[in-house]
Amino acid sequence: MTDRSVIHDTFSLERTYPATPSRVFAAFASVEAKNEWGATSEVKPSDDIEEFDFRPGGRERFTVMRRDTTYRSDALYYDIVPDQRIVYSYEMYADGVRISVSIATIELVKSAGGTTVIWTEQGTYLDGIDGVHAPALRVGGTEELLDSLTRYLRDTASGHIDTKEP
C-alpha cells in the first residue's frame, strides 16, 4: 500500500515591470506571448501550449520535459479582469501521476515603476512524489517564470521578439 500524505503551502511573489498593466496582461492573455516567455532555462515546452482558452471557464494545457520527467499542467481559469487580475487553478502531473493541485491569483497593480505583479499561490502537494521540497521547488519555478516574463517584456519593448498582442 502506498503511503498518502499532503503538504500545504502558500507563497506570494512580487515584481515590478516597467510596462503598462495592459501590456503585462497581454503577455498572459496571448498564446503567442506565453509560448515565448513560458519556457525557462531548465524547462522547455515539448510542444507549444496544447490548449489555450483564456476566459473564465477556459482551459490551458501544456506538457514540459525536465531532465527525464514529463510534467503536464491542466489549468482552469475562474476569474479574469483585464489589466487587473487572473485567478486559476491547476493540477500538475509527473509522468502521468498527479503531484499537486494549486490555485493561483495574479494581480496587476499600476505603480510608479509601471506594473507591480503580485503572484499568490496556494498549493497542495500530494503523496511526497516531489519530495518534502516540493513547495520550494514551486516557488523557484515561479520565480524563473517571472524572470522570463521580465526578459520577454524587455525584449518586446526593444523589438527583439515579434509577438501578436490580443
Q: How big is the chain by its Cα radius of gyration, in Å? A: 16
| Model pLDDT, residue 48 | 56
For the chain, what are the domain ranges? 6-157
141 is written with which cell numbers?
519555478
Contact 94, 129 (CB under 8 A): yes
Q: What's the burial of 59, exposed, middle or buried (CB within 10 Å: 0-12/13-18/19+)?
A: middle
Instruction: Tell me how far apart the alpha carbons of residues 22 and 162 are, in angstroms, rounded to a whole number.
Output: 17
The Cβ of residue 2 has, within 10 Å, a number of other Cβ atoms equal to: 7
Instruction: Tell me how far apart the alpha carbons of residues 78 and 90 are, in angstroms, rounded to a whole number.
Output: 11
Please report, in tens digits, the pLDDT of each residue of the chain (166 residues total). 467 889 999 999 999 999 999 999 999 999 889 888 875 544 554 455 788 999 999 999 988 887 888 889 999 999 999 999 999 999 999 999 999 999 999 999 999 989 999 999 999 999 877 767 888 889 998 999 999 999 999 988 865 444 444 3
Give the DSSP letter of residue 153. H
Class of the CATH domain delimited by 6-157: alpha beta
